[in-house]
């Protein structure tokens, strides 16, 4: 009988003390002399007529606390090493547990359970039965009652460290083990199923049966591998590196793979999901539904400028005449101006999508890194095609804008219409109806609201179309203080207004000189003209002099700025203000409809003309 090591192939060991020394020496060479470990196994073959055909892998015990030169994660390293061997379906697991330790705390059984939950490949071995406390035994474990295993448990009694140091003979140790099982009352009835000789027979038998069970699947697996290898060998037998057809085939395969990768990145797929950042189709989706709507919202306009533009449009359409009705053309002109502004964010959206497509192409061609010219040419061809589609896509988007400009559809179901716009205008005015405040006049005077009888055919009825005009009257309060009186509207007088006007006029304190505001006969100084009020720069009404002449006009004047240009302080008569507000509401409604339509059509147009293509 002799032994051979794989690392000493030419040498046969007949003295087993030398075998023991060689194992220790090889361990020190690989792991060092201070308790290190290594996953590289020491291969030892023993040839003898007294041993059975058996392959045994002796794995290290699990270390909890590192000692010596062992790394801090020694426990996890050893566990990984053990799992590499016991995870194989073709191996049997020998789970060794000392009898003087609780079986529920066995690391060996725990790891075996992880890879073999049914216990089909696990054989339990219980050692140190002779070291258990008096009055205790492992009978329930050995009878497979406590933690059942398919292949059962076998108890053994090994040599103690004292016996090993005293070089106790193996045969004597086996005889002592046999005697222990026959003489122990708890194990006497199962002595023939205990001990190292029985363990040898069981391992040999079960390994043979296990090989017999796994051999058919192993054979079929080897045959399939052999066929694939033979097929590959046949291909290489006729292989010619300079064959142009082979080069063309390889080229087509790489290009097809590029196409598959590109489509997966755009359409999304379950394999190779990037969890660190958005890529490809997800980024384009974000441009469609987050970035593009944001660009539309970002097109803020100055409310004051918009209202000024609307008022100029209304005045320019009316020309020299004073219009009575809100013109449609002003609405169309303002809407078209707002729709034209949509071109910039729409074209910017196309540019962002193109940039993402080009980035995706570069990511997909990274697999062609071994062929720089092929990669460069692929990127050039695809990028050129994307640029060609860019022109067509932008033309189509500009066409969509031009289509919206060509016809203003005021019959759209979501459009509020003129009546609703006026109604909304009225509600807004009610909410913000604040009287115009005036500067206090000189002491001992008060402005009294006007009320006069309206006679048929009176020319003063022009003021009746301005029901929103209000003045605030100043009255002398107690102690000479001035206060604003309640507002009296200048509206079409009726019977009650006649009386109210008279009462207000009579309410003026005696001794105060308050001029009554009467209609002037002089046509150049008429108080009411058309839809507005004719106001002189110096006072409230033409010809009004005295202490009341320094009152502010009802509406702000036009002033000159530093450059000498006349600066519009946004002064409008009430009729024009109502018309501006009405058109403002109509424009707001129609532009909202256009934005909704463009937000829907943009992704569809880009997908159809660029991405799908």
Q: How confident is the model over 450-469, as pLDDT tens digits?
A: 333 333 444 433 333 343 33
Cα–Cα distance for residue pair 67/579, rounded to 1 Å:
92
Higher-confidence residue: 525 or 150? Answer: 150
Q: How confident is the model over 155-180, as pLDDT tens digits?
A: 999 988 888 888 888 889 999 999 99
- Apex CA 126: angle with CA 41 and CA 210, to 5°? 60
Cα–Cα distance for residue pair 171/108, rounded to 1 Å:
28
Q: Three-state DSSP class for 137? A: coil
Cα–Cα distance for residue pair 412/123, rounded to 1 Å:
82
Q: How confident is the model at residue 351 (pLDDT cuts 50, 70, 90)?
A: very high
Does pTM top 0.75 for this prediction? no
Q: How confident is the model over 291-327, as pLDDT tens digits?
A: 888 888 877 666 777 778 788 788 787 787 776 676 7
Share of the chain above pLDDT 70, in %: 73
For residues 236-251, give the mean pLDDT.
Answer: 78
Q: How confident is the model over 265-287, as pLDDT tens digits?
A: 888 775 666 666 777 788 888 99
Q: Does the pLDDT of residue 499 top 60, yes or no?
A: no
Residues near 102 by Cβ (< 8 Å), separated by ≥ 6?
Answer: none
Higher-confidence residue: 566 or 600? Answer: 600
Question: What integer pLDDT is reported at residue 71 of this predicted model?
Answer: 81
Q: How confident is the model over 375-413, as pLDDT tens digits?
A: 899 899 999 999 999 999 999 999 999 998 888 888 888
Contact 542, 548 (CB under 8 A): no
Q: How confident is the model at residue 418 (pLDDT cuts 50, 70, 90)?
A: low
Set out the domains of the chain in order of their start, with CATH numbers: 1-71 (no CATH), 88-237 (3.40.50.300), 245-427+572-611 (1.20.120.1240)
Q: Does the pLDDT of residue 443 top 70, yes or no?
A: no
Cα–Cα distance for residue pair 109/93, rounded to 1 Å:
9
Contact 114, 84 (CB under 8 A): no
Question: What integer pLDDT is reported at residue 432 of this predicted model?
Answer: 54
Question: What integer pLDDT is reported at residue 243 of this predicted model?
Answer: 75
Higher-confidence residue: 533 or 324? Answer: 324
Contact 263, 364 (CB under 8 A): no
The pair of three-digit structure tokens given for residue 46, joined into one six-digit string: 């023993």
Question: What integer pLDDT is reported at residue 90 of this predicted model?
Answer: 81
Question: What integer pLDDT is reported at residue 366 of this predicted model?
Answer: 84
Question: What integer pLDDT is reported at residue 431 of this predicted model?
Answer: 57
Q: How confident is the model at residue 61 (pLDDT cuts 50, 70, 90)?
A: confident
Q: Over the range 316-332, which residues count as b (16 or more CB within 10 Å of their CB) and which as e?
A: eebeeeebeebbeebbb
Contact 587, 334 (CB under 8 A): yes
Contact 513, 446 (CB under 8 A): no
Q: Does the pLDDT of residue 258 top 60, yes or no?
A: yes
């Amino acid at each position: 009988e002799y032994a051979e090591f794989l690392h000493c192939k030419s040498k046969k060991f007949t003295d087993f003390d030398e075998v023991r020394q060689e194992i220790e020496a090889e361990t020190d060479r690989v792991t060092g002399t201070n308790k290190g470990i290594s996953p590289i196994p020491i291969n030892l073959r023993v040839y003898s007529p007294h041993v059975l055909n058996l392959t045994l892998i002796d794995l290290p015990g699990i270390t909890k606390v590192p000692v010596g030169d062992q790394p801090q994660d020694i426990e996890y390293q050893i566990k990984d090493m053990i799992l590499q061997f016991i995870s194989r379906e073709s191996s049997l697991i020998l789970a060794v547990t000392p009898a003087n330790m609780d079986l529920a705390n066995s690391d060996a059984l725990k790891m075996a359970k992880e890879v073999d939950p049914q216990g089909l490949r696990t054989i339990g071995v219980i050692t140190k039965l002779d070291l258990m406390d008096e009055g205790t035994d492992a009978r329930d474990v050995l009878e497979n009652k406590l933690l059942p295993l398919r292949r059962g448990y076998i108890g053994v009694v090994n040599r103690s460290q004292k016996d090993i140091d005293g070089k106790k003979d193996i045969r004597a140790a086996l005889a002592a083990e046999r005697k222990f099982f026959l003489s122990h009352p708890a194990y006497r009835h199962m002595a023939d199923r205990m001990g190292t000789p029985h363990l040898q027979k069981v391992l040999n038998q079960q390994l043979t049966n296990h090989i017999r069970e796994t051999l058919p699947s192993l054979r079929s697996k080897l045959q399939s591998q052999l066929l694939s290898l033979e097929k590959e060998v046949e291909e290489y037998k006729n292989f010619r590196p300079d064959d142009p057809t082979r080069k063309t085939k390889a080229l087509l395969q790489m290009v097809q793979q590029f196409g598959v990768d590109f489509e997966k990145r755009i359409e999304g797929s379950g394999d190779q999901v990037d969890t660190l950042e958005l890529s490809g189709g997800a980024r384009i989706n974000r441009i469609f539904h987050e970035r593009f709507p944001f660009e539309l919202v970002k097109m803020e306009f100055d409310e004051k400028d918009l209202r000024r533009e609307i008022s100029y449009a209304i005045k320019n359409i009316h020309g020299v005449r004073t219009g009575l009705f809100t013109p449609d053309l002003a609405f169309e002109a303002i809407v078209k101006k707002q729709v034209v502004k949509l071109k910039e964010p729409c074209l910017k959206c196309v540019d962002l999508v193109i940039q993402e497509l080009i980035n995706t192409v570069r990511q997909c061609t990274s697999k062609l890194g071994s062929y720089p010219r092929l990669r460069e040419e692929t990127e050039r061809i695809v990028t050129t095609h994307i640029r060609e589609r860019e022109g067509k896509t932008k033309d189509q988007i500009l066409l969509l804008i031009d289509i919206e400009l060509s016809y203003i559809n005021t019959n759209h179901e979501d459009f509020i219409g003129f009546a609703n716009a006026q109604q909304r205008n009225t509600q807004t005015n009610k909410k913000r109806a604040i009287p115009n405040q005036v500067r206090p006049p000189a002491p001992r005077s008060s402005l009294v609201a006007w009320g006069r009888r309206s006679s048929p055919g009176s020319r003063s009825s022009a003021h009746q179309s301005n029901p929103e005009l209000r003045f605030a009257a100043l009255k002398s309060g107690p102690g000479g203080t001035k206060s604003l009186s309640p507002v009296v509207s200048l509206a079409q007088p009726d019977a009650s207004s006649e009386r109210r006007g008279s009462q207000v006029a009579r309410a003026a304190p005696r001794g105060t000189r308050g001029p009554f505001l009467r209609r002037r006969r002089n046509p150049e100084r008429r108080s009411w003209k058309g839809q507005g009020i004719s106001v002189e720069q110096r006072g409230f009404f033409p010809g009004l002099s005295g202490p009341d002449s320094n009152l502010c006009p009802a509406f702000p004047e036009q002033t000159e700025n530093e450059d000498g240009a006349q600066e519009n302080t946004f002064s409008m008569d009430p009729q024009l203000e109502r018309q501006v507000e009405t058109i403002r509401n109509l424009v707001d409604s129609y532009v909202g409809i256009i934005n909704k339509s463009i937000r829907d059509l943009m992704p569809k147009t880009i997908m159809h003309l660029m991405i799908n293509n």
